[in-house]
Chains A and B, each alone.
Chain A
Amino acid sequence: MARLTYFTVKAGNEQISGPLEIWLTAMIAVMPTEARAQAFQYVKKMQGDTFELLNPDGSKTITFRAEPGLLNMKGDL
Chain B
Amino acid sequence: MATFAFLDEAKRYLCTVFQNDSDVFKLYLSNDAPIVGTDSIKTDITEITNQNGYATFTLTQTWVETGAGTGVWRFKNNADITFTASGGSFGAFQYVVIYDDTPAGGTSSLPTDPVLGSWDVGAATTITTGNSFLIDLDANFAIYELS
A residues within 8 Å of B by Cβ?
A: 1-6, 59-73, 76-77
Q: Is the CB of A66 within 8 A of B2?
A: yes
> Looking at chain A's contact residues, is the secondary structure mostly helix, strand, loop, or mixed?
strand
- Name B1-45 residues within 8 Å CB distance of A: 1-6, 11, 14-15
Chain B interface extent, by class: 35 or more
Q: Is the CB of A69 within 8 A of B128?
A: no
Known contacts A61-B133, A71-B145, then 17 further A-B pairs from the complex at CB < 8 Å, ordered by chain A residue: A1-B126, A2-B125, A3-B123, A5-B122, A62-B131, A65-B2, A66-B137, A68-B138, A68-B140, A68-B143, A69-B3, A69-B5, A69-B143, A69-B144, A71-B11, A73-B146, A77-B11
Distance to closest chain A CB from B74 (angstroms): 8
Instruction: Given A64-B96, A69-B143, verify A59-B4 contact (CB < 8 Å).
Output: no
Q: Is the CB of A67 within 8 A of B3?
A: yes
- Name B77-136 residues within 8 Å CB distance of A: 82, 92, 96, 117, 119, 121-128, 130-136
User: At the interface, yes or no: B70 with Cβ under 8 Å from chain A?
Assistant: no
Q: Is the CB of A73 within 8 A of B147?
A: yes
User: At the interface, yes or no: B59 with Cβ under 8 Å from chain A?
Assistant: no
User: At the interface, yes or no: B142 with Cβ under 8 Å from chain A?
Assistant: yes
Distance to closest chain B CB from A34 (angstroms): 24
Q: Which residues in B have their C-beta under 8 angstroms from that of A66?
A: 2, 4, 96, 119, 135-138, 143
Q: Is the CB of A64 within 8 A of B144?
A: no
Distance to closest chain B CB from A43 (angstroms): 15
